[in-house]
Structure 1
Amino acid sequence: MDGIPLGDSYTWTAARALGVTRGQIRADGVPVARGLYVSRSRDLDLRMRCRAWAGVLPDDAAFGLHTATALLGAGPASQDVHVVLTPRQVLPQRGGIRVHARALAEDDVIDVDGLRVTSGAQTYLDMAQHVPPADLLALGDALVRSGHLDAARLQRRLSRAQRVRGVVPARRWATHLTGSAGSPPESRLRYWLLTSDLPDPEVQVPIPDGWGQVVAHADLGYSRWKIALEYEGRQHAEREQFGRDIDRYSLMAADGWLTLRFAGRHLGGPTAVVERTRRALSSRGWRPQPR
């Protein structure tokens, strides 16, 4: 606001105290919550909304759960802003935010562009009680891929998580997390195979030609049986990508690889993924091990 140092976000009370009129606030401010505004000169994205909230929340507040997932580059933003606070008798509640009580250690909070955000390990643990196992695996893979989570940091956090809600599934899938998974749908495809009686698939499988030169990588697969599994999203329908896929699949077939291709319609349950993979493995000589 010209001549008045309000900044990118401000409260009604602070603006009025500086002499800003009601009309000026209505003209400039985009409401984030009752009495809290972001200037129209800024994009009202998640980071800007969080910056506005950070100015009015207690000092120990950190952005967590679904909001942390988005800020850490591991998932989409939710409509509400999720905030984590140290347990207290009464947690502050306001429209537009959802407040959760957590006893966080110093390592459980990191700085992301000047915002206090729960760490990758803490976010993974918090989300374990809110999302299905397939989505938890996809989230963990995304946190590893974004650089905010690794085995050592996760192990340290889970070792302190006795009796914490969600710790059982968090530990169940911790050993399967990988940054090599290219996307959440690939992780969900892998989930159905990991929960079946089939061999665990390899991730980003190198495909060599007859001279040992790697000519492609499969999303998932089984090198021993020369079986590749590919997830194909909408981007594979684009002209250039479609042409590259044709070349890649031709090279793989020429060297004896059998490729199974899956899309979003196949990820809602295990049947198509598991049974087609089972048939492919059986056709290459795999046999289930006796229990």
Structure 2
Amino acid sequence: MSSRRDSAVPLPVSLRGQPYVARAGLELGITPARLRAADLEHIFHGVIVPRGWGKDVTSLAQAYATKMSLSHCFSHSTAAVLLGLRLPLGLRERCELHVTTKPSQRAPRGRYIRGHTGTPDTFMLGNLRVTTPLATLRQLGSMMSLDDLVIVADGLLSRKAPRVTVTELIAAVDGWHGQRGFRQLQAALVFVRERTDSARETMLRLLIVRAGMPEPMINVPIRSRAGRVVAHADLAYPEYNLVLEYDGDQHRTNRAQYYIDIDRLERITREGWRVIRINLKHMASPTVLAALIREALADAAHRGR
């Protein structure tokens, strides 16, 4: 039985504030009683962390990694979180780890663990073995809705930090024929586009298309009369000089970004473009959104742009 007296015994510096396997502690001379002390927690079988260790995906993965064998890897939505892919909030905050091992072994199991078997492509992300972005996308094909898959795939082709090329993505999906999630991924591929900057941008584009409106172009360069690029528009109809700008929550929570966007929009309007600012209220009502865009397009056409 542990006690406060046990907690008062200092741990070796190499083990303080981080996860470790109990065996490593014993080898360093820590007594079993000290390993059961109130300031420590056995988060997985044989794995010890400081009391209060986080239960988010990254913290759980760092702890579980101390006991993983070389044949194990983090996969599915766990890999997606660790890779920083664009995921729905529910998957990002889920307190569970997807761990895959080779088919000849039993799938891992235990508290917080969802085990799988397979032979996905993997690589080392720091000290964590994870499935590659494309292998992760394949696994997500059987876990996510079509729209969420489009968001993830758009992120893989993002403007600022692309993970793969369009050619690589198409070839990968074609190669998954017959596997779980293939049909959903194949359907999602129709809507995937390059050079997006955010999940909300993808969601807005999908809403516009499904409302029967023309698909806007993505990250359109806005040029001055001298031909210099003065800004980029998230979504735009260049033939109508019309820009669609999503007003996200960062305008409320990040004042620096807010001022950057204000300056960017000012440069866009100065060059003769009209800007329609889209917010969550519009996103919640596709009919209203479509009417707003339709009216703006008609007005631009009437004015001759």
Aligned counterpart in structure 2 of residue 32 of structure 1, from 37, 43, 52 = 43
Greater Cα offset, 50-59 or 110-119: 50-59
Relative to structure 1, is the Cα distance of residues 19 and 171 closer, same or farther in structure 2, using a 3 angstrom cutoff? same
Give, in whole Å, the separation in 2 of the partners of 1:269 and 1:161. 36
Do the aligned partners of 2:201 and 2:246 also contact (CA within 8 Å) in 1? yes
Aligned counterpart in structure 2 of residue 184 of structure 1, from 199, 219, 236 = 199
- Residue 81 of structure 1 aligns to which amino acid in structure 2? L
Is residue 2:81 matched to residue 1:73? no
Do the aligned partners of 1:38 and 1:44 also contact (CA within 8 Å) in 2? no
Is residue 2:279 matched to residue 1:263? yes
Identity %: 28
Q: Determine the structure 2 residue equivalent to 1:124.
A: 137
Tell me by how many angstroms 1:240 deviates.
Answer: 4.7
Give, in whole Å, the separation in 1 of the partners of 2:292 and 2:118. 44
Unaligned runs of 5+ in 2: 1-9, 87-91
Q: Deviations over 1:151-174 (max 9, x none)?
A: 233234223212222212312333
Q: Determine the structure 1 residue equivalent to 2:126.
A: 113
Tell me by how many angstroms 1:239 deviates.
Answer: 4.7
Tell me by how many angstroms 1:46 deviates.
Answer: 4.2
Aligned counterpart in structure 2 of residue 275 of structure 1, from 269, 288, 291 = 291
Aligned counterpart in structure 2 of residue 166 of structure 1, from 181, 184, 192 = 181
Do the aligned partners of 2:247 and 2:279 also contact (CA within 8 Å) in 1? yes
Aligned counterpart in structure 2 of residue 54 of structure 1, from 62, 65, 83 = 65
Tell me by how many angstroms 1:140 deviates.
Answer: 1.5
- Residue 293 of structure 2 aligns to which amino acid in structure 1? T
Q: Determine the structure 2 residue equivalent to 1:253.
A: 269
Aligned counterpart in structure 1 of residue 227 of structure 2, from 207, 212, 234 = 212
In the TM superposition, what are the counterparts of 1:75-94 in structure 2 within 5 Å? 75=86, 76-88=92-104, 90-94=106-110
Tell me by how many angstroms 1:272 deviates.
Answer: 3.5
Aligned counterpart in structure 2 of residue 9 of structure 1, from 13, 19, 28 = 19
Tell me by how many angstroms 1:16 deviates.
Answer: 4.4
RMSD between aligned residues: 3.2
Q: Determine the structure 2 residue equivalent to 1:133.
A: 146
- Residue 217 of structure 1 aligns to which amino acid in structure 2? H
Aligned counterpart in structure 2 of residue 193 of structure 1, from 194, 208, 231 = 208
Greater Cα offset, 20-29 or 153-162: 20-29
Relative to structure 1, is the Cα distance of residues 116 and 214 closer, same or farther in structure 2, using a 3 angstrom cutoff? same
Q: Determine the structure 2 residue equivalent to 1:234.
A: 249
- Residue 128 of structure 1 aligns to which amino acid in structure 2? G
Tell me by how many angstroms 1:128 deviates.
Answer: 2.3
Give, in whole Å, the separation in 2 of the partners of 1:156 and 1:35. 42
Q: Deviations over 1:115-146 (max 9, x none)?
A: 21111111112112222222222212223334
Tell me by how many angstroms 1:42 deviates.
Answer: 8.6
Relative to structure 1, is the Cα distance of residues 129 and 285 closer, same or farther in structure 2, using a 3 angstrom cutoff? farther
Q: Determine helix, strand or coil for the equivalent of 1:215.
A: strand
Relative to structure 1, is the Cα distance of residues 251 and 153 closer, same or farther in structure 2, using a 3 angstrom cutoff? closer
Relative to structure 1, is the Cα distance of residues 110 and 178 closer, same or farther in structure 2, using a 3 angstrom cutoff? farther
Relative to structure 1, is the Cα distance of residues 219 and 14 closer, same or farther in structure 2, using a 3 angstrom cutoff? same
Greater Cα offset, 243-252 or 200-209: 243-252
Q: Determine helix, strand or coil for the equivalent of 2:188.
A: helix
Is residue 2:112 matched to residue 1:96? yes
Is residue 2:149 matched to residue 1:144? no
Q: How many residues align?
A: 283
Tell me by how many angstroms 1:281 deviates.
Answer: 2.1
Q: What TM-score, normalized to structure 2?
A: 0.78
